[in-house]
């Protein structure tokens, strides 16, 4: 990497070399039986150069031909992508405990054993299918640039998922568990899944109308998507965010506090620096309902003449973030450590507060609607119908719609437990009032 950097420095004004390697193991169970085992080792290098205010970018899986990689980056300068920023000079950032060595000794057979154990616990609880998955991810990153920055880290993550599928449908009650090391799937999650599944086995057809909706973690991905889109520095610069001029203004109910928590190494994926070498720090987006900050990478911070927030990550936008290969991507503004502050009510206490409403366990079509504007239109997948504080059945062919800046102004209560939320951090269940729900009736 050092040799490539020295070559690039001679040919341009600024240069950055980024490297990543990762080992993945994944096991999948379908209908409570082993379906697939997949192991992958991947590595690569990318080069960003800046010359005369223009950005060049290229990547490779190895450094056998450094001259070719540099030439490809120089050729890409013809695209005339503006780069009015400086690569950072970052000293050694906050030390974090991001890697547990025990993860390296965890084998695919250990993942198979845990998935099988989990399936056997769930089989007596349902006459439907059970799916499960478990994985490990070990990653090493290094960033060096022409300002003298030289940063590296190793991190590890273990995850397991289970889903109890309703008979004759493709949807069910599912839960994820993430850790920095191997742990048994928590009994509390098993009890939560089985209780919700048992109480919603009957299909009901409630009338349409405005009612309370309890947004559960698996449906919050669509909500987070819109929160992040509205506070993303890119959309602030493009003037497509409805809250671009509302710093200091109350945009949500006072019960809502949202912040980025990258330095919390009690959870997996903690980061002390982003994919551009900028030091990470806690960042509050919304406090007690009031908009406090937006988040930026180097590019959009420079365009808006504000400091970067350590939020530049090599991730795909929207759904692409789930499968994106970081070595092929340039950094964009992202918040993979987003947290919505939990409340004090248990899930049981939240349900008791619903006189009439839907527990939105999963959202079908979270990409529908004007996302930067906050519009949403989710198919319930599944939705559990509640009357007088009790779950009475499961709703099919229904839709929840609106704009997040409306129901999140009417938050009834927030759950006391944080759950992992796809690629966007940790969230609690959130109960909102007066949400539009359309059913077959």
For residue 316, pLDDT beyond 80? no
- Mind listing the pLDDT tens digit for each residue in 72-99? 999 999 999 999 999 999 988 889 999 9
Q: Residue 324: pLDDT above 90?
A: no
Higher pLDDT, 344 or 91: 344
**In whole angstroms, what is the distance from residue 317 CA to residue 298 CA?**
17
The number of C-alpha atoms within 13 Å of 385 and in the hemisphere containing its C-beta is 21
Confidence (pLDDT) at 168? 83
Closest CA to 256 of 409, 420, 360: 409
52-70: average pLDDT: 95
Give the DSSP letter of residue 244.
T
Does residue 209 carry a pLDDT above 80? yes
DSSP states of 253-282: -TT--EEE-TT-TTSTT--SB-TTSPBP--
Residue 255 has pLDDT above 80, yes or no: yes
Query: What's the whole-model pTM score?
Result: 0.95
Span 162-203, pLDDT tens digits: 999 999 888 999 999 999 999 999 999 999 999 999 999 899
321 pLDDT above the threshold of 60: no
> So what's the pLDDT on residue 266?
95
- Whole-number pLDDT of residue 409: 95
Say whether pLDDT at 318 is over 80: no
pLDDT tens digits, residue range 356-373? 999 999 988 888 889 999
CB 326 within 8 A of CB 315: yes
pLDDT digits (tens, 9 = 90+) for 104-118: 999 999 999 999 999
What pLDDT is recorded for position 36? 97
Average pLDDT (227-235) is 96
Q: pLDDT-based confidence at 14, cuts 50/70/90?
A: very high
Domains (range + CATH), the chain: 2-197 (3.30.2290.10), 200-438 (no CATH)
**Residue range 271-304, pLDDT digits in tens:** 999 999 999 999 999 999 999 999 999 999 999 9
At residue 352, the pLDDT reads 98
Res. 10: pLDDT tops 70: yes
Q: Closest Cα to residue 313, out of 67, 141, 92, 71?
A: 141
Q: What is the mean pLDDT of residues 381-409?
A: 94
pLDDT band at residue 322 under the 50/70/90 scheme: low
* Cβ–Cβ < 8 Å for 291, 248: yes
Cβ contacts of 343 within 8 Å, gap of 6 or more = 255, 413, 414, 415, 416, 428
Q: What is the rounded CA–CA span in Å between residue 262 and residue 339?
A: 10
**Is residue 320's pLDDT more than 90?**
no
**Average pLDDT value for the chain:** 94
pLDDT(212) > 70: yes
**pLDDT at position 319:** 53
């Amino acid at each position: 990497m050092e040799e490539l950097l020295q070559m690039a420095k001679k040919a341009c004004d600024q240069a950055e070399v980024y490297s990543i390697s990762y080992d993945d193991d994944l096991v999948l169970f379908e209908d409570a039986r082993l379906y697939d085992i997949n192991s992958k080792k991947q590595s690569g290098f990318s080069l960003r150069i800046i010359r005369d205010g223009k950005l060049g970018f290229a990547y490779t899986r190895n450094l056998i031909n450094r001259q070719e990689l540099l030439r490809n980056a120089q050729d890409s300068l013809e695209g005339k992508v503006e780069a009015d920023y400086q690569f950072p000079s970052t000293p050694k950032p906050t030390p974090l405990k991001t890697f547990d060595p025990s993860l390296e000794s965890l084998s695919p057979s250990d993942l198979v054993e845990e998935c099988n154990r989990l399936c056997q616990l769930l089989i007596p609880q349902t006459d439907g299918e059970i799916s499960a998955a478990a994985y490990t991810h070990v990653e090493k990153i290094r960033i060096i640039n022409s300002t003298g920055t030289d940063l590296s880290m190793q991190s590890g993550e273990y995850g397991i998922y289970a889903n109890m599928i309703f008979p004759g449908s493709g949807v069910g009650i599912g839960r994820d568990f993430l850790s920095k090391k191997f742990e048994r799937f928590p009994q509390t999650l098993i009890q939560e899944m089985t209780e919700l599944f048992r109480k919603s086995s009957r299909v009901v057809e409630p009338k349409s109308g405005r009612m309370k909706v309890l947004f559960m973690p698996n449906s919050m991905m669509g909500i987070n998507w819109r929160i992040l889109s509205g506070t993303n520095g890119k959309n602030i610069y493009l003037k497509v965010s409805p809250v671009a001029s509302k710093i200091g203004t109350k945009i949500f109910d006072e019960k809502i506090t949202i912040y980025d928590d990258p330095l919390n190494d009690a959870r997996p994926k903690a980061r002390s620096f982003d994919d551009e070498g900028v030091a990470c720090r806690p960042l509050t987006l919304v406090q007690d309902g009031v908009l406090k900050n937006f988040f930026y990478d180097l590019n959009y911070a420079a365009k808006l003449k504000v400091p970067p927030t350590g939020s530049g990550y090599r991730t795909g936008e929207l759904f692409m973030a789930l499968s994106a290969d970081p070595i092929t991507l340039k950094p964009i503004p992202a918040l993979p450590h987003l947290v919505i502050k939990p409340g004090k009510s248990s899930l049981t206490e939240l349900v008791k507060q619903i006189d009439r409403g839907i527990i939105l366990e999963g959202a079908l079509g979270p990409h529908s609607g004007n996302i930067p504007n906050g519009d949403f239109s989710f198919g319930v997948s599944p939705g559990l119908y509640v009357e007088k504080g009790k779950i009475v059945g499961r709703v099919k062919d229904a839709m929840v719609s609106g704009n997040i800046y409306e129901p999140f102004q009417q938050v009834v209560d927030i759950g006391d437990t944080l759950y992992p939320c796809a690629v966007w951090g940790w969230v609690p269940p959130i109960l909102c009032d007066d949400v539009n729900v359309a059913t077959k009736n």
